[in-house]
Amino acid sequence: MIPTVRLLPGRDKSAREGHPWVFSGAVGLVGGDPGPGDVVRVVDSRGEFLAWGHYSPGSRIRVRLLERAENATVDEVWWAARLSAAVARRREQLIDPRGACRLVFSEADLLPGLVVDRYGDHCVLQVHTPGAERMRATTLERLGALLSPAAVLDRSDELQRRLEGLPVVTGASAALAADPAPAVRINDAGLTFDIRLGEGQKTGFYIDQRLNRAAVAAWAPGRRVLDAFCYTGAFSVHAARAGAVGITLLDSSRDALEAAVGHLALNGLAAVPIEVRRGNAFADLRRLRDEGRSFDMVILDPPRLAQTRSQAPRAARAYKDANLFAMKLLEPEGILATFSCSGGIEPDFFQEIVRWAAKDAGREVQILQKLGQPFDHPVRLDLPETEYLKGLICRVL
């Protein structure tokens, strides 16, 4: 018997309209005893077919819808075909053999639970749902056939796997890599970065900020730049190449700061005066002001402060304070490039937070450009949750 998930009366609207998540609260009878990662038939309260989906009994998101054609066979072949299509969408970004880009962005590429990033000839995998876990071997096999990667590493997010009731995997386990922390040298818009794939944060490099760095760097010529939450310095390297006259790197991670200084040197930019500050940036932004410092440009790219809407209020206060102190550090007519990668904070709300900061700083602020996700991190219209990264380039008068 094909396992079937029947929705409660009146709880089929969002699935019918295209949203690909079925929450546990919408689920009525479950027939056929599906296990984690099984393909289930999702039907409405009258038994009418809605979609095929991956079942996740331990998750609040009980079913991730995969396919709306009833006559489709949702199996390994189906998954591999979708994976091929996602990679084919990145044709242009695969031309540079040393380039870095996201090859698969989970639901946004119609492959729930799977993220694949590519750094030159290496791939980094994230598997976040039982359904995607079930397809791991198929994923590895198809990636091998399409790209012949030198190695595939697993950098799945622990929290996300726990939320789905999956065991935590770390480092290179369950992947195709002899070396658990290979160093890969990548090219990003003509700049070179060394990435330790098995270490560091995210999947090694914040590739989602790739295009935003060029937009921000356009304002760097002649400016003294504070790069707060700089990680391995990618914004600073772009700013220095564009003509920044001073770079202050600020992060809490010693390793990240070391890598940032290394990246400036690696790109022949060591002649720009560089200052390194390690510490809690939320406190240090305030301290810099107490020291009487000022900058012509501040880049503010904090880590994800809210994962869900419920964490948004608390995160909003942190964002507001950081933006407030960044504004206070800016000379008149200075540039603030401010970001939020929190899915729980929507773009309009983020703009509102920046407005609060401006009020409290007593500064008039112009928005010069709104920034978002690059085209290899597409936003799926049916799943607004796939929009997470937003940025504003502002002039602080």
Q: Which residues of the shown chain bind ligand SAH in the complex (CB under 6 A)?
A: 201, 206, 209, 229-232, 234-235, 251-253, 256, 280-282, 301, 303
User: Please, which residues have CB within 8 angstroms of residue 17's CB and are 6 or more apart in sequence?
Assistant: 382
Provide the minimum distance between the beta carbon of 253 and ligand SAH in the complex, in angstroms, as a whole number: 4
Any idea how long the chain is?
A: 397
- State the Cα–Cα distance between residues 132 and 56, nearest whole angstrom: 10
Say how many CA atoms lie within 13 Å of 208 toward its Cβ: 23
Provide the minimum distance between the beta carbon of 304 and ligand SAH in the complex, in angstroms, as a whole number: 8
Specify whether the CB–CB gap between 378 and 386 falls below 8 A: yes
CB-nearer residue toward ligand SAH: 154 or 208: 208
Provide the minimum distance between the beta carbon of 254 and ligand SAH in the complex, in angstroms, as a whole number: 10
Provide the minimum distance between the beta carbon of 301 and ligand SAH in the complex, in angstroms, as a whole number: 4
CB-nearer residue toward ligand SAH: 61 or 335: 335
- State the Cα–Cα distance between residues 167 and 128, nearest whole angstrom: 10
Burial 223-241 (b: 16+ CB within 10 A, else e): bbbbbbbbbbbbbbbbbbb
CB-nearer residue toward ligand SAH: 129 or 248: 248
- State the Cα–Cα distance between residues 3 and 165, nearest whole angstrom: 20
Task: Write out the two tokens for 332.
Answer: 């008149």
CB-nearer residue toward ligand SAH: 286 or 355: 286
Provide the minimum distance between the beta carbon of 231 and ligand SAH in the complex, in angstroms, as a whole number: 3
CB-nearer residue toward ligand SAH: 164 or 251: 251
Strand partners, 183: 196
- State the Cα–Cα distance between residues 120 and 38, nearest whole angstrom: 34
Amino acid at site 69: A
Examine the residue annotation and report whether 341 is marked as an active-site residue of this protein.
yes
Provide the minimum distance between the beta carbon of 192 and ligand SAH in the complex, in angstroms, as a whole number: 14
The neighbour count for residue 314, using CB atoms within 10 Å, is: 12
How far separated are the first and last CA of the chain, in Å rounded?
A: 67
Provide the minimum distance between the beta carbon of 281 and ligand SAH in the complex, in angstroms, as a whole number: 3
Amino acid at site 29: L
As a whole number of Å, the CA-based R_g of the chain is 23
The per-residue DSSP string of 30-73 comes to EES---TT-EEEEE-TT--EEEEEEE-TTSSEEEEEEE--TT--
Catalytic residue among 101, 123, 230, 341, which? 341
CB-nearer residue toward ligand SAH: 222 or 303: 303
Amino acid at site 340: S
- State the Cα–Cα distance between residues 317 and 324, nearest whole angstrom: 10
CB-nearer residue toward ligand SAH: 201 or 351: 201
- State the Cα–Cα distance between residues 381 and 386, nearest whole angstrom: 8
> Which sequence positions are flagged as catalytic?
341
